[in-house]
């Protein structure tokens, strides 16, 4: 199984944003400004088929641009595709799911 996967999405200004999934480090990453700065979403397995989406961090200079939204979508898509259950420890992921109520998300979240 591959240890890293990538997804390319576009932000509101049609700029390309690439989300990398580093399965070995259990994180989703968006490299900003070349590869110097990065936004991350961290998770841990807390059971065989259960993950805890723990923390999302975007550098101050990049906040308010919708970058965390791409990390959250990638993480939730991963949960659905792998048929996992998720604990939403991160407040931002909780907000994302509430603002983007996809039926496939709700069946994978511990309430």
Do the bridges between strand 37-47 and strand 27-32 make them parallel or antiparallel, or are there none, so unpaired?
antiparallel
User: Which pLDDT score is estimated for 41?
Assistant: 98
* C-alpha count within 13 angstroms, C-beta hemisphere, residue 3: 2
pLDDT tens per residue across span 42-99: 999 999 999 999 999 999 989 999 999 999 999 999 999 999 999 999 999 999 999 9
| Tokens encoding 49 | 């088929």
Do the bridges between strand 50-57 and strand 85-88 make them parallel or antiparallel, or are there none, so unpaired?
parallel
User: Which pLDDT score is estimated for 12?
Assistant: 41
Quote the CA–CA distance of 95 and 16 in Å, as a whole number.
Answer: 24
Domain residue ranges in the chain: 26-108
pLDDT tens per residue across span 7-23: 444 444 446 789 999 99
User: Which pLDDT score is estimated for 81?
Assistant: 95
CATH of domain 26-108: 3.40.630.30
């Amino acid at each position: 199984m591959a240890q890293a996967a990538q997804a390319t999405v576009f932000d509101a200004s049609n700029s390309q944003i690439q989300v990398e999934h580093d399965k070995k480090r259990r994180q989703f990453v968006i490299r900003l400004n070349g590869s110097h700065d990065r936004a991350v979403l961290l998770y841990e397995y807390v059971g065989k088929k259960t993950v805890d989406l723990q923390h999302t961090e975007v550098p101050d200079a990049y906040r308010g641009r919708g970058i965390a939204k791409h990390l959250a979508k990638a993480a939730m898509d991963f949960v659905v595709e792998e048929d996992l259950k998720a604990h939403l420890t991160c407040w931002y992921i909780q907000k994302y799911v509430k603002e983007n109520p996809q039926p496939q998300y709700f069946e994978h979240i511990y309430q």
